[in-house]
A and B are shown apart, each in its own frame.
Chain A
Amino acid sequence: MAASTVGEAEMNSASRGAIAGAPLVLRILAECPVSKARACDMTLPHCTVNTPVFMPVGTQGTMKGVTAEQLENLGCQICLGNTYHLGMRPGPELIEKAKGLHGFMNWRRSLLTDSGGFQMVSLVELSQVTEEGVKFRSPYDNKEILLSPEQSIAIQNSLGSDIMMQLDDVVSSTVTGPRVEEAMRRSIRWLDRCIAANRNPESQNLFAIIQGGLNSELRHICLEEMTKRDVPGFAIGGLSGGEEKDDFWKMVTLSTDHLPREKPRYLMGVGYAVDLVVCVALGCDMFDCVFPTRTALKHKQYAKDFQPIDPECTCPTCRRHSRAYLHALLNIIDGCFPQFVRAFMDRMFPSREQYPRWAVDALASVGITLN
């Protein structure tokens, strides 16, 4: 199955030339009649990606000990690079010289780069956000840096990724009060600056990131505003930082309800298997998480846990996992996604009593009952 999909990808790339000036084309192959799940083909400059898709994170231009060839053989069609880290080491000038991040890593399929903004929340304690951008002290050389929307896009233009993320003003989902609204509104203004700064709109796709924390009103406003902009795709942001799962899924479903059907939805930072399956049911197409690459070596500890894809492990177990996601795709196409979800939950948990409450509720909200 994987092989023929890749074959199709090659064919799609060839026919892509016929679609002038559109670096992203989404073809919806099937929609689940019960839930909000869809199976699509997303054609990007470097290759076509089948969704739903899990994108492994290769922070520094490498996938933690896995070669580019191994990654291809595993069926990976798109992976993530980290703008902040690569912007520091080895830096955009060298990468441009090496023919972009694709050339530098020798990865010929698709790449998505983040804006570099999230690092500032997660890596650096004292960062200061102003309208200009984010100011922080680099742990690499202790110099003060300002990352503005323009600079983030400039680096991502040098990296040459197929999908670029806007620079957003990120606040942790546990934060409440006026800061959440301020960050949401600033993210809209920064989206416009990112769109204006993009040197390569015909070969690189800029995605917007919906913010608004756990506040449905703020989310609504953000959705309304950002969907007015002509961007090729949307990410749902601000939702993978330790918030209550009950709040989490409600914001996801609210977001997918108000995002255009014909554009891809990328749920940022969501990677545990259960979360993935539920959010596919809620209408998300793309996912990423550092969890598999970070804990690949210790995966034995998680034997009873959520069995994430392990890109480092090429044993049949993990081929089974990457097939699991293709299975979701096949199941959506064949019209039996709800059965797939039930079988999946049954495999993941020893008994029905142990199904997470939030997952049961979320699935029920889109018509998939688990009993």
Chain B
Amino acid sequence: MKLELRGLAPGTRLGVLAGLGRSGTRAMEVPGCLLYTHCGSVPHLTHDTLDALGRLPAVTQLPLATVAEHQEVLEAFREGAAKLAGLHDTVLFCSLQDPAAPCPAGYNTSKSVSLWSAAGRIELTVPKYVAMQAAVRPDWYQSLADGDAQPAGSSLKRVRRSVERTLTHLDECVLLHQKTAELVGAELFGVVEGADVREERVRSARETAKRPVGGFVLDGFQSGVMDQALRAQLIAAVTAELPRDKPRLVLGVGRPDQVLSCVEGGVDLFEGFFPFVATERGCALCFRFAMEPDPESAVQEQNGVTEDGGSSRTEDPEHQDLQQMTRFEMNLNDRRYRDDLRPLVVGCGCYCCRNHSRAYLHHLLVTKELLAGVLLMLHNVSHYSSFFSSVREALATDRLETLKSVVLGV
């Protein structure tokens, strides 16, 4: 795996992560987001509806929490989760928790971390964790980490402990990784912790960087857990300590404004769960990200952006939980869409927008039909994916500030 960055303005990271996968032939553009799955399947989508999305991210994310209960099946199968799920030709990243599900704190011990799966809480020691990863056979995976210390209300002692434990787990992971046949060729990512304490963040980053890891996962910056301003500061402090040539992935950040802030702070990769959480609320992503001036206002008029549901809001509460709708979405459950025969987003080329109307989506939601999730997911993943293309284009043409104002609608 090799990160090839373009030589742009200092602090700007734009490039390609090449030589990916066991074959070493895949590549992923950065900044980028991973394809979010539950147990290897994109929620609501089967393989042929997935095809309707066109070009998919090269790297697929499989949160261990969504596959943990199937460990025995994976072990009996002996060829890894990607094969079992029918995911051919992809690079698989196995993270720990599911970013779209709650992870109650307070259950981690010095020797174990609790994984929150559909089957309940699973306590993992490092050996148990590495055994699970061996069954999954990922291309990349994060080390076991203690992310329990939430900013609000954690004592300094607890924060220090989480940094210590995470480093200890990492060292143990490194040793076991080297002895595990199924993980030969897989990249181990170290995890940076430290909650909201700057010294701990820096310490965690420095120490993790000393270990033989392929990349870095930034934990404890999740959307519901830390506000934007603090996140921006701490991410900058963390990335300053990390080697330039290894990728940085931040967990639990999906809102487009927060993504942009993290990109500015030196983050390369994001979990792609935001389209899914919007779908679960019956919402369609509708925020603008096109940077050309003229068509913008026309599209804005056509989409009724100023009158639609969430877009009229200019602020979202900082500590917003995942269930709450953001200003980047429109809620198709709303009665106002009952007889609106326009596509979700005028000008969007996704399957849903080419074939169906807001009125139809509204009907599907009201009647609780499965197709609602399918169509919304197709649109949301497509929209979000195009947003990331726009981010890369903005970086390439030095127009990140323009993109920020477009996305924020200011």
Residues of A within 8 A of B (CB): 60-70, 73, 85, 89-90, 94, 97-98, 104-106, 314
Tell me if A106 and B371 are in contact (CB < 8 A). Answer: no
| Residue among B52, B359, B375 with the highest chain A CB neighbour number at 10 A | B359
List 17 contacting pairs A-B, 8 Å CB cutoff, sorted by A.
A60-B363, A60-B364, A61-B360, A62-B369, A62-B371, A65-B371, A67-B374, A68-B355, A69-B52, A73-B48, A90-B359, A94-B359, A98-B357, A104-B357, A104-B359, A106-B356, A314-B48
- With both chains docked as a complex, state the minimum distance between the C-beta of B95 and any C-beta of chain A, in angstroms: 27
Given known A67-B374, A106-B356, contact A60–B369 (CB-CB < 8 A): yes
Tell me if A94 and B338 are in contact (CB < 8 A). Answer: yes
- With both chains docked as a complex, state the minimum distance between the C-beta of A344 and any C-beta of chain B, in angstroms: 28
Q: How far is the CA of A204 from the CA of B355 in the complex (A)?
A: 24
Taking CB atoms, residues of chain B closer than 8 Å to A61 are 360, 363-364, 367
Taking CB atoms, residues of chain B closer than 8 Å to A64 are 369-371
B366 at the interface (CB under 8 A from A): yes
Taking CB atoms, residues of chain A closer than 8 Å to B47 are 314
B49 at the interface (CB under 8 A from A): yes
B23 at the interface (CB under 8 A from A): no
B25 at the interface (CB under 8 A from A): no
Tell me if B359 and A98 are in contact (CB < 8 A). Answer: yes
Tell me if B374 and A65 are in contact (CB < 8 A). Answer: yes
Given known A61-B363, A89-B366, A94-B359, contact A66–B371 (CB-CB < 8 A): yes
Taking CB atoms, residues of chain A closer than 8 Å to B341 are 97-98
Q: How far is the CA of A133 from the CA of B385 in the complex (A)?
A: 53
- With both chains docked as a complex, state the minimum distance between the C-beta of B44 and any C-beta of chain A, in angstroms: 8
Taking CB atoms, residues of chain B closer than 8 Å to A66 are 371
Tell me if B359 and A314 are in contact (CB < 8 A). Answer: no
Q: How far is the CA of A314 from the CA of B341 in the complex (A)?
A: 30
In residues 347-386 of chain B, which contact A (Cβ within 8 Å)? 351, 355-357, 359-360, 362-364, 366-367, 369-371, 373-375
Taking CB atoms, residues of chain A closer than 8 Å to B323 are none
B339 at the interface (CB under 8 A from A): yes
Q: How far is the CA of A70 from the CA of B51 in the complex (A)?
A: 11
Q: How far is the CA of A98 from the CA of B362 in the complex (A)?
A: 13
Taking CB atoms, residues of chain B closer than 8 Å to A314 are 46-48
Minimal Cβ-Cβ distance residue in A for B372 = A62
Taking CB atoms, residues of chain B closer than 8 Å to A62 are 364, 367, 369-371
Q: How far is the CA of A106 from the CA of B361 in the complex (A)?
A: 12
Minimal Cβ-Cβ distance residue in B for A314 = B48
- With both chains docked as a complex, state the minimum distance between the C-beta of B359 and any C-beta of chain A, in angstroms: 6
Interface residues on chain B, number (Cβ under 8 Å) = 26
Taking CB atoms, residues of chain B closer than 8 Å to A73 are 48
Taking CB atoms, residues of chain B closer than 8 Å to A69 are 52, 351, 355
CB within 8 A of B360: which of A70, A85, A104? A104
Minimal Cβ-Cβ distance residue in A for B378 = A67
Minimal Cβ-Cβ distance residue in B for A105 = B360
Taking CB atoms, residues of chain A closer than 8 Å to B363 are 60-61, 89-90, 104
Given known A65-B373, A70-B48, A97-B339, contact A89–B367 (CB-CB < 8 A): yes
Taking CB atoms, residues of chain A closer than 8 Å to B360 are 61, 98, 104-106
Q: How far is the CA of A98 from the CA of B48 in the complex (A)?
A: 27
Tell me if A63 and B371 are in contact (CB < 8 A). Answer: yes
Tell me if B338 and A90 are in contact (CB < 8 A). Answer: yes
CB within 8 A of A70: which of B49, B338, B357? B49
Taking CB atoms, residues of chain B closer than 8 Å to A70 are 48-49
Q: How far is the CA of A105 from the CA of B361 in the complex (A)?
A: 10
Give 5 A-B pairs besides A65-B373, A106-B356 with Cβ atoms closer than 8 angstroms.
Answer: A61-B360, A62-B367, A66-B371, A90-B362, A314-B47
Q: How far is the CA of A62 from the CA of B376 in the complex (A)?
A: 14
- With both chains docked as a complex, state the minimum distance between the C-beta of B350 and any C-beta of chain A, in angstroms: 12
- With both chains docked as a complex, state the minimum distance between the C-beta of B396 and any C-beta of chain A, in angstroms: 34
- With both chains docked as a complex, state the minimum distance between the C-beta of B393 and any C-beta of chain A, in angstroms: 30
Q: How far is the CA of A64 from the CA of B362 in the complex (A)?
A: 15
Taking CB atoms, residues of chain B closer than 8 Å to A97 are 339, 341
| Residue among A62, A64, A73, A94 with the highest chain B CB neighbour number at 10 A | A62
Minimal Cβ-Cβ distance residue in B for A60 = B367
- With both chains docked as a complex, state the minimum distance between the C-beta of A109 and any C-beta of chain B, in angstroms: 14
Q: How far is the CA of A314 from the CA of B50 in the complex (A)?
A: 13
Taking CB atoms, residues of chain A closer than 8 Å to B46 are 314
Taking CB atoms, residues of chain A closer than 8 Å to B44 are 65
Taking CB atoms, residues of chain B closer than 8 Å to A63 are 371
Q: How far is the CA of A274 from the CA of B281 in the complex (A)?
A: 42
Tell me if B351 and A67 are in contact (CB < 8 A). Answer: yes
Taking CB atoms, residues of chain B closer than 8 Å to A65 are 44, 369-371, 373-374
Minimal Cβ-Cβ distance residue in A for B363 = A90
Tell me if A94 and B369 are in contact (CB < 8 A). Answer: no
Taking CB atoms, residues of chain A closer than 8 Å to B362 are 90
Q: How far is the CA of A204 from the CA of B351 in the complex (A)?
A: 30
- With both chains docked as a complex, state the minimum distance between the C-beta of A167 and any C-beta of chain B, in angstroms: 23
Q: How far is the CA of A50 from the CA of B52 in the complex (A)?
A: 28
Taking CB atoms, residues of chain A closer than 8 Å to B370 are 62, 64-65
Chain B 35-50 per-residue mask, 1 if CB under 8 angstroms from chain A, else 0: 0000000001011110
Taking CB atoms, residues of chain A closer than 8 Å to B375 are 67
Taking CB atoms, residues of chain A closer than 8 Å to B52 are 67, 69
Taking CB atoms, residues of chain A closer than 8 Å to B355 are 67-69, 106
Q: How far is the CA of A97 from the CA of B47 in the complex (A)?
A: 34
Taking CB atoms, residues of chain A closer than 8 Å to B369 are 60, 62, 64-65
Minimal Cβ-Cβ distance residue in A for B368 = A60
